């Protein structure tokens, strides 16, 4: 049985529906690990950075905007929004979109440190928005052109900021990773998310038995 903020038991039928505001299959896969029932909704927002907006401000704003769009359409739901940017030498790296851009991006990142900011927003009907940012620093190996071409052709990381998938072969591109939660690189920092969900009354460990995801 779930318990609310004051420790009172909550009947499962009265617990607000959990919704992941994302079209990312990677974030969905991560959230499934918590064994909480949830829906998925794909928010449509303008992700253009505002003038003089810092990367931290950008990811926090976009995570909140994604969650708000879904929350407005799903009254009473608890909504999770997230966003991620990669930063190299003060430049924000977007998703490459195609093979040539992915190769060019990895050539640029070879031998360098890249900082990844992954934001989380949890919107609950009864509490103010919860927003946090997880920072991960990746040092790329010095990569040969052949290694880059082989990686891009095998994993096709065209929808990933930084042109890699750390949950797959992309780990072979790295020399080191510095961060509190390896899931953050994939797109959803689960340690922070669990803490935020407990605040709004959803604790994965309070369920007596696993429940299937949709």
What is the DSSP secondary-structure string of 148-183?
A: HHHHHHHH--TTSTTS--TTTGGGGGEEEEE-S-TH
CA distance 103 to 54: 26
User: Which one from 39, 46, 83, 181 is the annotated catalytic residue?
Assistant: 83
| pLDDT recorded at residue 95 | 83
Active site residue 83: yes
Q: What is the pLDDT of residue 186?
A: 87
Please provide the distance, in angstroms rounded to a whole number, between the alpha carbons at the two ends of the chain.
20
The pLDDT of residue 13: 41
Q: How far apart are CA 149 and CA 82, in angstroms?
A: 30
57-90 core/surface letters (b: 16 or more CB in 10 A; e: else):
ebbbbbbbbbbbbbbeebeebbbbbbbbbbbbee
The stretches in the chain having pLDDT less than 70 are 1-16, 207-214
| DSSP bridge pairs for 119 | 83, 133
**For residues 209 and 52, what is the distance between their CA atoms, to the nearest angstrom?**
48
pLDDT value at residue 26:
86
Q: Which residue has the tokens 């064994």?
A: 35
* Residue pLDDT, tens place only, 65-103: 999 999 999 999 999 999 998 898 888 887 899 999 999
**pLDDT at res. 100:** 95
Q: Is 173 exposed, middle or buried (0-12, 13-18, 19+ CB in 10 A)?
A: buried
The pLDDT value recorded for residue 90 is: 80
Domain positions in the chain: 2-206
The pLDDT value given to residue 89? 84
Which class would CATH give 2-206? Answer: alpha beta
Q: At what angle do helices 99-109 and 145-155 cross, to 10 degrees?
A: 140
């Amino acid at each position: 049985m779930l318990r609310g903020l004051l420790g009172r038991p909550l009947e499962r039928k009265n617990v607000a529906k959990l919704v992941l505001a994302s079209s990312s299959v990677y974030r969905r896969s991560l959230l499934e690990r918590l064994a909480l029932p949830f829906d998925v909704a794909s928010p449509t927002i303008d992700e253009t950075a505002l003038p003089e907006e810092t990367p931290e401000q950008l990811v926090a704003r976009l995570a909140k905007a994604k969650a708000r769009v879904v929350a407005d359409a799903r009254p009473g739901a608890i909504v999770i929004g997230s966003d991620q940017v990669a930063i190299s030498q003060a430049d924000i790296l977007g998703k490459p979109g195609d093979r040539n851009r992915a190769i060019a991006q990895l050539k640029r990142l070879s031998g360098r440190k890249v900082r990844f900011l992954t934001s989380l927003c949890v919107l609950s009907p009864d509490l103010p928005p919860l927003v946090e940012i997880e920072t991960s620093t990746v040092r790329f190996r010095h990569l040969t052109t052949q290694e880059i071409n082989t990686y891009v052709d095998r994993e096709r990381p065209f929808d990933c900021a930084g042109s890699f998938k750390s949950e797959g072969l992309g780990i072979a591109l790295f020399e080191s990773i510095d961060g509190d939660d390896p899931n953050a690189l994939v797109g959803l920092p689960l340690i922070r998310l669990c803490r935020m969900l407990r605040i709004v009354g959803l604790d994965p460990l309070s369920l007596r038995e696993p429940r299937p995801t949709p």
